[in-house]
Amino acid sequence: MNYGNRNASTPYTTSDLANGYLAACAVSIGIAMGSRVLFANFLKRQQGQRQFIANAAIGYFSGAFAGVANLTCMRQREMQKGVVLMNKEGDQCYGQSPTAGRKAIFQTAMSRFILPLPVMFAPIALSSLFSMARLLPKNQALRNCMELSFCTIGLLFGLPMSVALYKQQSSILASELEPEFQNLKDPKTGEVIKEFYFNRGL
């Protein structure tokens, strides 16, 4: 998924993909399993609703950090080699910038960090409300269906919200870039370019 949603202006070799994939798997699994081992005793001391919330919080943070680590490993070449800078219309390229590449990864990582929030906590909030109103069905199969619908609601709201956090065509000021992009003039107008645009991926 991270490869498919990358900035395609940065070429990846088979070796880049293999190394990134192995590192992403190792880091993601390590974070997910390590957090469970680290907080195992804490979770045992919690009871009822507190245990439910604590379990969801730990699951959220471990999943979010694993997702960010996965993204960083799979798209590290964009931070090293950079992404293509363009004008607003996208018909003029000015070169590749590692600074813009790092910004692209940071913005995508932030959106990935936001994505699990509604998925993890919407079911808890809705289940608590239904429980207080005594509307939760006693039949376990119906209760499971209701909880699944709560997860679906969280995903329906969470995914568009996280993707819309930053525009796919992002911008960066010339003053934030490498020296070669500062005081660069537009070949069409002859004016100094103050802002560049790049595709950050998803």
Tell whether the model's pLDDT for residue 5 goes beyond 60. no
User: Do the beta carbons of residue 97 and residue 83 sit within 8 Å?
Assistant: yes
Q: What is the pLDDT of residues 39-67, one digit of tens each?
A: 888 878 877 777 777 877 887 887 788 77
* Averaged confidence pLDDT in the chain: 81
Enter the pTM of the model: 0.73
Strand, helix or coil at 165? coil
Q: Which helix (H) or strand (E) holds 58?
A: helix 48-74
Per domain, the residue ranges of the chain are 14-199
As a whole number of angstroms, the distance between CA 66 and CA 81 comes to: 24
- The type of residue at 96 is Q
3-state secondary structure labels for all residues of 175-187 = HHCCHHHCCCECC
